[in-house]
Amino acid sequence: MKVLMLSWEYPPVSFGGLARHVQDLSEALVEQGHQVYVITQGSSDTSEKEEINGVRVLRTAPVQVNANNFVDYILQLNFQILEKAFGLMPGGIDIIHGHDWLVFWSSKVMKHALKKPLVYTIHATEYGRNHGIYNDMQRYINDLEWYSCFEAWRVIVCSDYMNQEVKNLFQLPSDKVIKIENGVDPEKYKARCTPEFRQKYADPSEDIVFYVGRMVREKGVQVLIRSIPEILKERPETKFIIAGKGPNLEHLKSLAAHIGVSDRIYFTGFVSDEVRNKLYQAADIAVFPSLYEPFGIVALEAMATKTPVVVSNTGGLSEFVTHNQNGVKVNVNDPHHLAREVIDLLKEKNRAKKLARNGYKMVEEEYSWKKIAGKTARVYRNVLSEYENSNW
Ligand code: NHF
């Protein structure tokens, strides 16, 4: 099959799990003999056209994010995606796969222009992110999510939690939505973290607690920061590495300063895949304290590097993490509970090792991208045959 993927992020332009997802899925589809074209947003150091691990990636010119007028930004991005699609892409596409509402306009136009069915993956909803509290912009995004679901032949979600949320929110029939979880391939996370590398972040006598992800409210980094004073009371030799970028970064730094823990936190900003892998290796624990988490691909990544995880009991995280078996689950938005569990796990090194081993075993056995790409290709095939047999 020839697949056209549309996504607003694709490494190295990367903000979160969506970029990781689209890349790993595309590469796994290519390995299974499909042709995959990705059209995505470019940056000043990406080229317009390149083949990465067999995936043909077309990128727009950098599009300036305009926080005061996000609608304008989205339209510009989608126009540029369409320009690439019509100008540079060969014919013969069988199926279009859009990721999240940000590419709604280009997905819709391509669907009609190519007369091919659209599959849409919804990675997170605006409703979930904001607990249903909408301003005008968020209401607009909610509408685009609904339209995307409406335009698609099938909607893919990554967890049972999202399945429920999307069906309820957009009133979709059950057979339109299908769950296909995220994956992780441990061999992509192999890295050699040398003592010199670790030393840049912490002394050998210090433990490292690591977070990586977008700096937005729903990821709960503020909960981790609030838990730090309590952790330091019992484990003063703990260092916190917080990696990633996002609109809340400065606010989180101020919060850390305000509660007097700045000197125990290393905010790295955006890190490359290689540095991220080394940080996972260097860490004693990886913490993902999300308030809302459709899946939580980062926790699978930590498991793939044999790092024990502490996650909040929500969304996809609560489905694939089993408490005290392959990780630790804590109450959502509860810094005290988080602190307790982190302290205990830092003390009980053998338990931490056992959890990490079980986490690794689970990702190896159940979460390969090969398996997930196989499930996705099956959805494509079903959609194509339904489409061909329909009157469309
Ligand atoms: O893992 C990839 C990612 C998820 O939970 C994550 C999220 C965005 O919020 O599907 O998409």
Distance 45 CA to ligand 1 centre (A): 25
Same-domain status, 93 and 110: yes
**Which of 129, 315, 158, 331 is CA-nearest to residue 218?**
129
Query: Do 13 and 41 contact (CB within 8 A), yes or no?
Result: yes
Give the whole-angstrom CA distance, residue 207 versus residue 286.
11
pTM higher than 0.90:
yes
Q: What is the pLDDT along the chain (392 residues), one digit of tens a residue?
A: 999 999 999 999 988 899 999 999 999 999 999 999 999 999 999 999 999 999 999 999 999 887 788 889 999 999 999 999 999 888 999 999 999 999 999 999 999 999 999 999 999 999 999 888 888 889 999 999 999 999 999 999 999 999 999 999 999 999 999 999 999 999 999 989 999 999 999 999 999 999 999 999 999 999 999 999 999 999 999 999 999 999 999 999 999 999 999 999 999 999 999 999 999 999 999 999 999 999 999 999 999 999 999 999 999 999 999 999 999 999 999 999 999 999 999 999 999 999 999 999 999 999 999 999 999 999 999 999 999 998 76
Residue 12: HSE in the Cβ half-sphere, 13 Å Cα cutoff: 12
Same-domain status, 125 and 220: no
DSSP structure string for 356-390: HHHHHHHHHHH--HHHHHHHHHHHHHHHHHHHHTS
Distance 298 CA to ligand 1 centre (A): 8
Q: What is the pLDDT of residue 290?
A: 98
Using a 6 Å cutoff on CB, does residue 293 contact ligand 1?
yes
Using a 6 Å cutoff on CB, does residue 214 contact ligand 1?
no
Tell me the sheet residues that pair with 377: none
Distance 388 CA to ligand 1 centre (A): 32
> Going by DSSP bridges, is the β-strand pair 55-62/49-52 parallel, antiparallel, or unpaired?
antiparallel
Looking at the CA of residue 316, tell me the nearest atom of ligand 1. Answer: 5
Distance 183 CA to ligand 1 centre (A): 11
Give the whole-angstrom CA distance, residue 277 versus residue 195.
14
Give the whole-angstrom CA distance, residue 314 versus residue 218.
11
Q: Under DSSP, is residue 235 helix (H, G, I), strand (E, B) or coil?
A: coil
Strand segments, DSSP code E, in the chain are: 2-6, 35-42, 49-52, 55-62, 95-99, 118-121, 154-157, 177-179, 207-212, 238-243, 265-269, 285-288, 309-312, 328-330
Would you say the C-alpha torsion 323, 328, 332, 335 has a positive or negative sign?
positive
Same-domain status, 178 and 32: yes
User: Nearest residue CA, atom 3 of ligand 1?
Assistant: 17
Looking at the CA of residue 297, tell me the nearest atom of ligand 1. Answer: 1
Using a 6 Å cutoff on CB, does residue 17 contact ligand 1?
yes
Looking at the CA of residue 315, tell me the nearest atom of ligand 1. Answer: 5
Same-domain status, 68 and 171: yes
Q: What is the pLDDT of residue 64?
A: 86
Mutate to test the pocket of ligand 1, among 121, 161, 182, 301 (most ligand atoms within 8 A of CB): 182
Same-domain status, 306 and 293: yes
Q: Which residues contact 381 (CB under 8 A, 6 or more apart)?
A: 1
Using a 6 Å cutoff on CB, does residue 295 contact ligand 1?
yes
Q: What is the ipTM of this complex?
A: 0.94
Same-domain status, 116 and 174: yes
The total number of structural domains in the chain stands at 2
Using a 6 Å cutoff on CB, does residue 297 contact ligand 1?
yes
Using a 6 Å cutoff on CB, does residue 128 contact ligand 1?
no
Distance 294 CA to ligand 1 centre (A): 6
Same-domain status, 289 and 311: yes
Looking at the CA of residue 295, tell me the nearest atom of ligand 1. Answer: 5
Query: Do 57 and 27 contact (CB within 8 A), yes or no?
Result: no
Using a 6 Å cutoff on CB, does residue 244 contact ligand 1?
no
Domain coverage including residue 192: 186-366
The token pair at 97 is: 């796969």
Q: What is the pLDDT of residue 70?
A: 84
Distance 124 CA to ligand 1 centre (A): 7
Using a 6 Å cutoff on CB, does residue 343 contact ligand 1?
no
Owner of token pair 């938005």? 333
Q: What is the pLDDT of residue 133?
A: 87
Same-domain status, 66 and 92: yes
The backbone region for 333, taken as left when phi is positive above 0, alpha when psi lies in -120 to 50, beta otherwise, is left
Same-domain status, 160 and 270: no
DSSP state of 136: H
Same-domain status, 197 and 327: yes
Domain CATH number, residue 284: 3.40.50.2000
Same-domain status, 257 and 342: yes
Query: Do 110 and 95 contact (CB within 8 A), yes or no?
Result: no
Query: Do 7 and 26 contact (CB within 8 A), yes or no?
Result: no
Looking at the CA of residue 21, tell me the nearest atom of ligand 1. Answer: 2
Same-domain status, 178 and 327: no
Length of the chain: 392
Give the whole-angstrom CA distance, residue 132 versus residue 379.
30
Rg (C-alpha) for the chain, rounded Å, is: 21
Tell me the sheet residues that pair with 328: 310
Query: Do 65 and 74 contact (CB within 8 A), yes or no?
Result: no
pLDDT tens digit sequence for 256-293: 999 999 999 999 999 999 999 999 999 999 999 999 99
**Which of 54, 48, 59, 49 is CA-nearest to residue 19?**
59
